[in-house]
Structure 1
């Protein structure tokens, strides 16, 4: 992937990867960041919850304890997210660095919203408070039937408490992500995560070409 001149100028672009457990977000984030870097773009690969020292401390709390009240859990995610935005994302984007982020605010809407019953109004207010105007330039939604994703996730061992939730929860989460993509088709591209990893990467790069003007 070779960047054109405009892709190298000014503010960086913010690409987020979303989807349920075992969808392949981490694998894709590595491959996508490597492809962008090989094309000459400065790239930061990061994740949520986490991505900054304070946010990583909150990650351990979120994944290691619970269950939480849905509003409390969303507030924890947004506390970590605010640190991530302030300490890592905004400085990188302002410096012209492209960011590939494994999960962002859509995950809170899918997991705590669709999955746990958090209202969209509360989520929107937390977004406004924690993110300011920052929103992804492109979101790749990796879609996979929950039973396949959970099989992948659990085979890794050391499951976190989200991965231990039942199938009904993960079906709601999947529906939540698909609803987000349907509401914002200009920002979101849904990818078939059941395909081999190299094909998912090719689909992702095609979406970057189409949506962000980065030539293959």
Structure 2
């Protein structure tokens, strides 16, 4: 059974809910799935003033957890079209893993959340994917086999580079059913590929 890590950062819970859907899909794909989050690096007073969601159930990961998995699916919200400092700080610690090739040949994928439809979804996905490629992972996107990303009857996230959600400028919009379906689809795809490679 392939082992899949869904690793995320979420300020307000949007990426957290996507992570849960990704994990559900990976379990449907036959994988053993662990959900973890990266450490919060913002000062406590900033977290409190900004009303970050602090009651997240996922345990905090360390960099040395990563080699224990066959596939790693990273999720983070956008910050000006790139990953937030919390995820960047975590990934910046992976140099020793890179140096020893600890993640070479593993499966990787990305998902994200933005405030608006054109708020940097694809550039944020690419900023995650770039890190995964440097670490030696093979990337799985969200192919057009998931037809939900082609919908025109509703506002929806989704990109061939990964599952996405649109949170709204004040974080008022939860992930839609279609966006969660996309996250599950991607998670299942990663699990099925990991089973073929590592099963």
Answer whether TM exceeds 0.5 for this pair.
no
Higher relative contact order (CA 8 A, sep 6+): 1
**Superposition TM-score, scaled by structure 2 size:** 0.44
**Superposition TM-score, scaled by structure 1 size:** 0.42
Higher helix share: 1
Q: Max radius of gyration: which structure?
A: 1
